Amino acid sequence: MTEPPTVVLATRNTKKVPEVRAVLAEAGAGDVEVIGLDAYPDAPEVAETEPTFAGNALLKAHAVARYTGLPAIADDSGLRVDALNGMPGVLSARWSGHFGDESPDKDDANLQLVLDQLADTPAERRGAEFVCVAAAALPDGREHVVEGILRGRLITERRGENGFGYDPIFVPEGEERTTAQLTAEEKNAISHRGAAFRDLAAGLRVLL
Candidate residues 1, 45, 47, 174; the one interacting with a second copy per rule CB under 8 A:
47
Q: Max alpha carbon distance in the chain (Å)?
A: 62
| Cα 123 from Cα 69, distance rounded (Å) | 49
DSSP single-letter state for residue 45:
P
Contacts to a second copy from residues 17-46, by CB under 8 A: none
Letter for the amino acid at 87? M
Candidate residues 113, 149, 184, 207; the one interacting with a second copy per rule CB under 8 A:
113
Candidate residues 35, 83, 149, 207; the one interacting with a second copy per rule CB under 8 A:
83
Candidate residues 5, 89, 127, 139; the one interacting with a second copy per rule CB under 8 A:
89
Kindly give, in sequence order, each residue whose CB lies less than 8 Å from that of residue 117, ignoring residues fewer than 6 positions away. 84
Interface segment toward a second copy; rule CB under 8 A; list 24-32, 87-95, 147-155, 192-200: 87-95
Q: Is 49 in the site for a second copy (CB under 8 A)?
A: yes
Residue 86 phi/psi, 5° resolution? 90, -5
Select 95 or 197, whichever has its Cβ closest to a second copy: 95
103 labeled binding residue: no
Residue 8 phi/psi, 5° resolution? -100, 125
Catalytic residues: 76
CB 75 within 8 A of CB 33: no
Q: Given the rule CB under 8 A, which residues bind a second copy?
A: 47, 49, 51, 83-87, 89, 91, 94-98, 112-113, 116-117, 119-120, 125
